[in-house]
């Protein structure tokens, strides 16, 4: 992407799909010391942690790309509450969503709107390190804006993927 952005003189855009679910992460945000701890695993908090990680990754990537002077933006977004099978393992909730979801949740096209907006719209040109919802910049949690946490997650991810 970096080479393509340089050669084409066109802005590249990286979009991380997150969720308002990032607001329900574990209290420490990311449990680096308990990343695979089954004894304290909680489905809601783990989902929140993963969505928080999506935002933190986009923010750290945006910072790094900007520092390099590369014409690539990185943002994250909440697509909205969409009728999906996300709650398929939560019997009662899944049934409730299936029953009333078609009346209150977004359909697939509506759910894709913010992703398309952030990826393609001219108004987002040059905007980086932001969190969007309903095609607008939105305010994530303080943890999601924590630059130190973002850097720690970046370094932790590298340590997990380093082949050494």
Mean pLDDT of the chain: 89
Which pTM does this prediction carry?
0.87
- Domain total for the chain? 1
pLDDT-above-70 percentage for the chain: 84
Quick one: average pLDDT of 15-25?
96
pLDDT band at 104 (very low <50, low <70, confident <90, very high): low
Residue 112: which CATH number? 3.40.50.720
pLDDT band at 163 (very low <50, low <70, confident <90, very high): confident
- Of the listed 26, 45, 47, 117, which one is catalytic? 47
Per DSSP bridges, beta strands 131-133 and 72-78 are parallel
Provide the domain limits for residue 23: 2-161
* Residue 124 three-state SS: helix
Residue 18, number of CB atoms within 10 A of its CB: 26
Q: What is the pLDDT of residue 142?
A: 98
Query: In angstroms, rounded to a whole number, what is the distance separating the alpha carbons of residues 116 and 109?
Result: 10
DSSP calls for 28-79: TBS-GGGTT-GGG--HHHHHHHHHHHHHHHHHHHHHHHHHHT-SEEEEEEE-
Active site residue 103: no
Quick one: average pLDDT of 20-49?
94
pLDDT band at 107 (very low <50, low <70, confident <90, very high): confident
**Residue 52: pLDDT above 70?**
yes
More confident residue, 39 or 110: 39
Kindly give the interhelix angle for 43-68 and 147-161, rounded to the nearest 10 degrees. 100
* Residue 107 three-state SS: coil
**Residue 109: pLDDT above 90?**
no
pLDDT band at 41 (very low <50, low <70, confident <90, very high): very high
pLDDT band at 82 (very low <50, low <70, confident <90, very high): low
**Residue 98: pLDDT above 70?**
no
- What is the tens place of the pLDDT at every residue in 138-156? 999 999 999 999 999 999 9
More confident residue, 76 or 104: 76
**Among residues 76, 77, 71, which one has the least CA distance to residue 12?**
71
């Amino acid at each position: 992407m970096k080479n393509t952005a340089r050669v084409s003189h066109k802005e590249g855009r990286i979009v991380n799909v997150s969720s308002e679910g990032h607001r329900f992460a574990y209290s420490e945000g990311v449990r680096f010391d308990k990343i695979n701890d089954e004894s304290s695993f909680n489905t809601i908090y783990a989902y929140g942690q993963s969505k928080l990680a999506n935002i933190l990754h986009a923010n750290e990537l945006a910072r790094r790309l900007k520092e390099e002077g590369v014409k690539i933006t990185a943002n994250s977004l909440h697509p909205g509450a969409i009728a999906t099978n996300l709650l398929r393992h939560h019997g009662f909730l899944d049934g409730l969503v299936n029953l009333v979801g078609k009346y209150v949740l977004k359909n697939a096209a509506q759910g894709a709107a913010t992703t398309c907006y952030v990826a393609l719209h001219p108004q987002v040109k040059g905007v980086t390190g932001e969190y969007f919802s309903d095609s607008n910049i939105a305010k994530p949690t303080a943890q999601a804006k924590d630059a130190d946490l973002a850097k720690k997650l970046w370094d932790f991810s590298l340590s997990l993927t380093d082949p050494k």
